[in-house]
Amino acid sequence: MEQKINYKKSLGQNFIYDINLLNAIVSDGEVEATDTVLEIGAGVGSLTKVLCQRAHKVISFEIDKNLIPYLENLKQKYKNLTLHYQDFMLADIQSLNLHNARVVANIPYYITTPIIFKLIDNINYFKSILVLIQKEVAERFSAKPKTKDYGITSVILQSIFDVRITRIIKKECFTPSPKVDSALIKLVPHNKYSIEDFDGFKKFVQNAFSMRRKTLINNLKLLYDKAQLENALTKLNYNINVRPEEISVEDFIKLYFYLKN
Ligand code: SAM
């Protein structure tokens, strides 16, 4: 099967055929026999097949119509599989009737962030998200304060999820091999904070990190009064010259609320 396919780089087609690795991915996703699983990017269905064997129901998206014969073949065998041959970014998640579902997917790298943000917008339908993405992106998502990787996406994702890399997957494990290694990253909603105006919070974090080398106050001084900023930082026991990467996720949320009110 591997030889016949005309892999499309533009669609992020880096497939996995190693059955042990596919089983390990599904295990990291904690997929159980009662679960409904959403997969984005079925490819020829190698991960889809293992998901069908382990889950109650699998809903899978694939944009490349050339792969339909492989997937229709799989559908004949697995009656718990539903396929959508369309761009996931245009899909209406609400219409899928998901409840407490899991996401397990080797997603196309060129739209990693848009996919994650689409899932966040629909987070009420999911209990966990396990996605295979580029290693360096996964390291940014899971980075801790005071490290070089800690930034906008670390704060935004960790304000909603416990974020953990479950395993590193070497580039040689894919067909064709991409240029860099990958990582499986697991996102589990922690419900620690209730941020009602999430779009406002996202913009706040983006502004806070607008110039990484500058202090937080310098980055935010066009949006807030300087005395108000100093006051908020002092209340949270930070020096007024603190830089954005030194502020914890929890304190970003506190700061946002102080400054909003
Ligand atoms: N799941 C397969 C595997 O692990 O071998 C394939 C993974 S491959 C990294 C990503 C897949 O996503 C490709 O088959 C690609 O055609 C598909 N894809 C790319 N963009 C997509 C989109 N916008 N919506 C749905 N599928 C997409």
CATH number of 9-189: 3.40.50.150
Residue ranges of domains in the chain:
9-189, 198-260
- Mean pLDDT value across residues 107-114: 96
Q: Rounded to the nearest whole angstrom, what is the distance from the C-alpha of residue 3 to the centroid of ligand 1?
A: 18
End-to-end CA gap in the chain: 60
pTM of the shown model: 0.96
Task: Kindly state if the Cβ of 131 falls inside 6 Å of ligand 1.
Answer: no
Give per-residue pLDDT as tens, 193-213.
989 899 999 999 999 999 988
Centroid of ligand 1 to alpha carbon of 60 (angstroms): 10
Q: Which fold has domain 198-260?
A: Helicase, Ruva Protein; domain 3 (1.10.8)
Residue pLDDT, tens place only, 204-246 = 999 999 998 899 999 999 999 999 999 999 999 999 999 999 9
Ligand 1 centroid–CA 41 distance in Å is: 3
